[in-house]
Structure 1
């Protein structure tokens, strides 16, 4: 099994693990605690070159039986209530602090990047490259002042919503089978947020946004349309996945989709079961390349935020994924594109550098 080509990834929730166990964060990050999907040793073992590190605010009112519901479709999980900025900002600040600490603690092995040139330099030197990302903009607040503060800290990517509503718009529920057309679009504050992100060159992430909100972003944004961790609705009819119409709009904008490894968004029957192997990932890669072209598809693992196929396991299992891709017939040029080059190209088009 091989660690090359290096993989640049569209989404992970490693910061949430650190937030939940801050006293053990040094061991969790630098040595590994045997839990979850990522840590510095497993990134190195799997040829994980870097990716988007999500700042995400957990809900206290998620249904306790969510795994049971998603394990036996059809299902529609009730969405948690909106979280206001007063509650969200301290948590988001703590997670941003964790990311900054990770850079310092890794002593030259990890760097928060603000440009594609910095990412490429890290990849050449074997340094894990990180993008600060916010998944669900609760911490920003409708006046947008905090957006500028987080941008100064390194924020370069933002999703206006996770699945629950925000003052900016509405996300899709966890539902199968379901269309992503589940409600109203962006609020006026949400439209202001998209415009401000365009001005600051903060990438706007469409994953989790419902169809009406997606449509609003397409009308407002002057940047490529990018979904960091979503799959093809035609292959798995989850509300979280993208329809052919949405994929066509992403293609027309010269955008990007990162394939999500979450089993419930990969499986044809929508079942949250981890015994599905690599084949569903390959099917979604093939389909998305048919719809978008081979230059606009990559990975958005959802490591540490979702159940992934047992065959993959964790970040070190990316070596096995590469073997499966080669066995599926992907040549080396295509491997390089899917593993990292497409992401770097999409970021250059989005950030302008």
Structure 2
């Protein structure tokens, strides 16, 4: 019996640009185009695993590095802007070096065309907007350069919102929500047709955005809090609001966001991911669940070592009873629909 046909995956979140920037390689764009042995994503591994594209995040690390046991400090704005421009430049250099293998997409039509051509459909996304002053001048300029999606915060306070710290066990109801500048940011994103990502928002910030925005609610890489009570996950009430807005939530592959014990243990079965998909589909409906891997940004199940193994998850979903139409929606259709509704094209 022949193997089932691969289902193309458009993914809600990856951190490959940061991994490449930190590699120290003199031409990091070549690592992506030619292939690498580090991390989760490059062009050859994406093609092998059916990863057809996704939101490529620009994230500026905190000055003290990553320590999930402490609260994070945001980088200074001038340094954050310089780092952001460097990583955006890297994405455009990858596009130039790829000979058509990667396309920076600015519309849903661009994504469809790139996928049809076998190109990696990349969307420029900011995970935290520490690069912006509250005047938002940089937002307007960077939107012209291709920025189509942003999360106001990563898991730390900035000028626009509080962000949800990494805590387990914990609800996401930690701290205040949007500042006045954050409310202006959301309204300006609506005007520019830039997606506002709710992952890494605390609960108050989530509801502040829900009151303001005229776009579908989207959490690009967050799981079900009922199944794993990590502060980064979504409560049932939040899942209901996403559904009612016509939005989506992207399933995060990070083991600490899916396990009931909240432990970062790579020896975690893919059935844990399927469990979150099942729960969120039951709660929100098949039209509102998608992929949000967090490739190159988190510890994923060891059985799925990188993007080349992505069809393992697709097959696990198929074995769990998802038919082809449902797989198409979860793997790419829901993202393209919501982006088209948000961007207007």
Please give the TM-score of this superposition, normalised by the length of structure 2: 0.97
Note the residue ranges of structure 2 that are not aligned, 5 or more in a row. Answer: none
Partner of 2:112: 120
Partner of 1:167: 159
Q: CA deviation at 1:24?
A: 4.3
Would you say 1:217 and 2:183 are equivalent positions? no
- Tell me if 1:55 matches 2:47: no
Q: Which of residues 94, 100, 108 is equivalent to 2:92?
A: 100
1:280 to 259, 263, 272: 272
Partner of 1:229: 221
Q: Does 1:5 align with 2:7?
A: yes
| 1:259-284 alpha-carbon deviations (Å, 9 max, x no partner) | 00000001011111011121011010
The separation in 2 between residues aligned to 1:122 and 1:288, in whole angstroms, is 29
SS at match of 2:130: helix
Q: Tell me what 1:333 maps to.
A: 325
Tell me how large the CA RMSD over aligned residues is: 1.1
Measure the CA separation in 1 of the matches of 2:312 and 2:165. Answer: 32
Pairwise CA distance, 1:27: 3.9
The residue aligned with 1:245 is: 237
What is the aligned partner in structure 1 of residue 256 from structure 2?
264
In 1, Cα distance between the equivalents of 2:308 and 2:141? 34
Counterparts of 1:239 and 1:80 in 2: how far apart (Å)? 15
Q: Measured at CA, do residues 151 and 275 of structure 1 come closer, stay the same or move farther in structure 2, by a change above 3 Å?
A: same
Query: CA-to-partner distance for each residue in 1:74-106, whole Å, 9 max, x for gaps?
Result: xxx211213232120000000000010110010
Distance 1:237 1:26 in 2: 38
TM-score (norm 1): 0.95
Summarize the Cα distance change of 1:63–1:8 in structure 2 as closer, same or farther, 3 Å threshold: closer
Aligned residue number for residue 37 of structure 2? 34
Of 178, 198, 218, 1:186 maps to: 178
Give the conservation status (yes or no) of the 8 Å contact 2:63–2:75: no
Question: Do residues 46 (structure 1) and 38 (structure 2) align?
Answer: no
The Cα shift of 1:32 comes to: 2.0
- Distance in 1 (CA, whole Å) between partners of 2:31 and 2:312 is 23
Distance 1:186 1:225 in 2: 16
Preserved CA contact (<8 Å) 2:216 2:246: yes
Check conservation: 2:60, 2:83, Cα contact below 8 A: yes
The CA distance in 1 between the partners of 2:40 and 2:63, in whole Å, is: 23
State the SS of the aligned residue for 1:184: coil
Determine if contact 2:225/2:236 at 8 Å carries over to the other structure. yes
**Are 1:18 and 2:20 counterparts?**
yes
Instruction: Classify the secondary structure of the residue corresponding to 1:137.
Output: coil
**Structure 1 portions without partners, runs of 5+:** 67-76
**Whole-angstrom CA distance in 1 between matches of 2:61 and 2:74:** 11
Answer yes or no: is 1:143 the counterpart of 2:135: yes
How many angstroms does 1:62 deviate by?
A: 3.4
Cα deviation 1:296-325 (Å, max 9, x = unaligned): 111000000000001111000112112111
* Offset, 1:292: 1.1
Q: Secondary structure at the match of 1:231?
A: coil
What number of residue pairs does the alignment pair up?
Answer: 342
